[in-house]
Structure 1
Amino acid sequence: MAIVVEHEKRKKEILEKSLELFIAEGYEDVTYQKIADRCGITRTTLYIYFKNKREIFSFSIKQLTGDLENQLLEIIKKPDLHSIDCLKEIFFRIFDVAEQNSKFFKVLHMYLIQLEKGGVDINERIRKRVIRIIHLMSTIIIRGQKKGEIRNVPVKDMNDLFYTLIESGIFRLGILNQTNLEQMRSIVNFTVEQFRA
């Protein structure tokens, strides 16, 4: 009897287990064989899904940001939520996910250093991963301005400011080894309130 393999389910499991391994051992110390072992499959089977370790790590990042994006979309869909409160919820959800994955950001930092040494434009790479989140924030800002809930200031400037706050939170977790972002939540609360109409 043939075994039916749900490829998308298996791929997701590989990514989850790989991410755990990257967090536990760091990007450089994880090998393709270690990933296969952690997943309980052979290297040959792993090659069916991913061509190398870098691709696995890249897809792990996509999965993490994709899951976050879905959570943010649920917040945006709340019909009676004031735009200012929506922005705060977006920030706080991003910070919650970042805190839950703080060790990942340390690994990501080392990975980005490796990419940069290889001549890769890491700013462009990061921008590609967060562009949809930035777009979602723009959507909230524009909607809030149309409803008269957010002051009429340039959307790009607001977005740049808000994105800088997110970067600051990630920096605190991944580089400064802070364990929580309570201070950043206070800063966000104060900053976002300044745009209330």
Structure 2
Amino acid sequence: MAIVVEHDKRKHEILEKALEVFIEEGYEDVTFQKIAERCGITRTTLYIYFKNKREIFLWSIKQLTYGIEQELNEIVANENQTSEECLRAMLSTIVDVCEENKSLFSVLLTYLLSLQKSGDEPGKRVRRRVVRLQHMLSTVMIRGIKEGEFKKVNVKSANEMFYGLIQSAIFRLSVLDEKTIDDIRDTLNQAVDGILTEK
């Protein structure tokens, strides 16, 4: 059992360090050798854990999104918050993560464009990574509607609105190189105001 734990711990450390390399160098310029050097291991040892650079990159993204999902799950599970507070906290957390990982989103964009050029469907991959996020947003909105906090809105459309604003934030940070997206925060809060019932 200890070997499995050590293996998982080492894999986790490799993914964290590899993500740093991807952010610093960009997806195209990262090599297996650069990742191995950053981790203080040989390429041969790195092959024990991963087949190639792409697999490392995808696992790094998966590890990051898993951490975000855990944080959002805690917000959703907090019974001391109203649905409105929960939705605002979720959206704020997501925007915080976007700002903190601005460089990563630039690397991710390059990766998705390379997938598109090779004939792959990047949209399908992105949808797989965000489906749980959208489900959590829907859960909170449905709960808010049932509790009378939110208007009886079309949850799917409201979800698309929030998700579109989050995508806009990512685009503005990673492509337009904006330093802050406080106006997106304001817009998200205004969108939440728009679904609240009159008190």
Give the shorter-chain TM-score range: over 0.9
Identity of aligned residues (%): 53
Q: How many angstroms apart in 2 are the aligned matches of 1:138 and 1:48?
A: 40
Query: Which residue matches 1:75?
Result: 75
- Secondary structure of residue in 1 paired with 2:81: coil
Letter in 1 for 2:59: F
Letter in 2 for 1:67: G
Equivalent residue runs for 1:109-148 within 5 Å = 109-148=109-148
Is the Cα contact below 8 Å between 1:102 and 1:179 reproduced in 2?
no
Q: How many angstroms apart in 2 are the aligned matches of 1:9 and 1:183?
A: 39
RMSD: 1.2
Letter in 2 for 1:85: E
- Secondary structure of residue in 1 paired with 2:195: coil
Cα distance, 1:107 vs structure 2: 0.7
5+ residue gaps, structure 1, are none
Does residue 1:157 correspond to 2:162, yes or no? no
Query: Which residue matches 2:52?
Result: 52
Cα distance, 1:115 vs structure 2: 0.7
Query: Which residue matches 1:183?
Result: 183
Is the Cα contact below 8 Å between 1:116 and 1:122 reproduced in 2?
yes
Q: How many angstroms apart in 1 are the aligned matches of 2:49 and 2:178?
A: 35
Q: How many angstroms apart in 2 are the aligned matches of 1:23 and 1:118?
A: 22
TM-score (norm 1): 0.96
Letter in 1 for 2:42: T
- Secondary structure of residue in 2 paired with 1:6: helix
Q: How many angstroms apart in 2 are the aligned matches of 1:173 and 1:112?
A: 16
Q: How many angstroms apart in 1 are the aligned matches of 2:195 and 2:60?
A: 35
Query: Which residue matches 1:95?
Result: 95
Which has the higher relative contact order, 1 or 2, with Cα contacts under 8 A spaced 6 or more apart? 1
5+ residue gaps, structure 2, are none
Q: Which runs of 4+ in 1 moved over 4 A?
A: none
- Secondary structure of residue in 1 paired with 2:79: coil
